[in-house]
Amino acid sequence: MVKIKTMKIKEISKKIVYLNAGLPWLVPGKTDPSQYTLDDVVVALNTVINILFGAAGTVAIIFIIIGGYLYITSHGSQEQTQKAKTTIFWAIGGLVLVISAYAIVRLLMKFLLNDDSFGQIVR
Q: What is the pLDDT of residues 33-90, one digit of tens each?
A: 667 677 777 777 788 888 899 999 999 999 999 999 999 999 989 999 999 999 999 9
CA distance 119 to 123: 12
pLDDT at 2: 44
Could you tell me the CA-to-CA distances from 36 to 28, 40, 57, 79, 82 in Å, in that order?
Answer: 11, 6, 30, 56, 53
Name the percent of the chain lying above pLDDT 70.
63
Look at residue 5 and tell me whether its pLDDT is greater than 60. Answer: no
The predicted model scores a pTM of: 0.66
Under the banding of pLDDT at 50, 70 and 90, the label for residue 99 is very high
Amino acid in the structure at residue 76: G
Task: State the DSSP string of the chain.
Answer: -HHHHHHHHHHHHHHHHHHGGG-GGGSTT---GGG--HHHHHHHHHHHHHHHHHHHHHHHHHHHHHHHHHHHTTTT-HHHHHHHHHHHHHHHHHHHHHHHHHHHHHHHHHHHH--TTTTSPP-
Residue 26, pLDDT score: 66
Q: Which residue has the higher pLDDT, 113 or 87?
A: 87
Portion of the chain with pLDDT greater than 90, in percent: 38
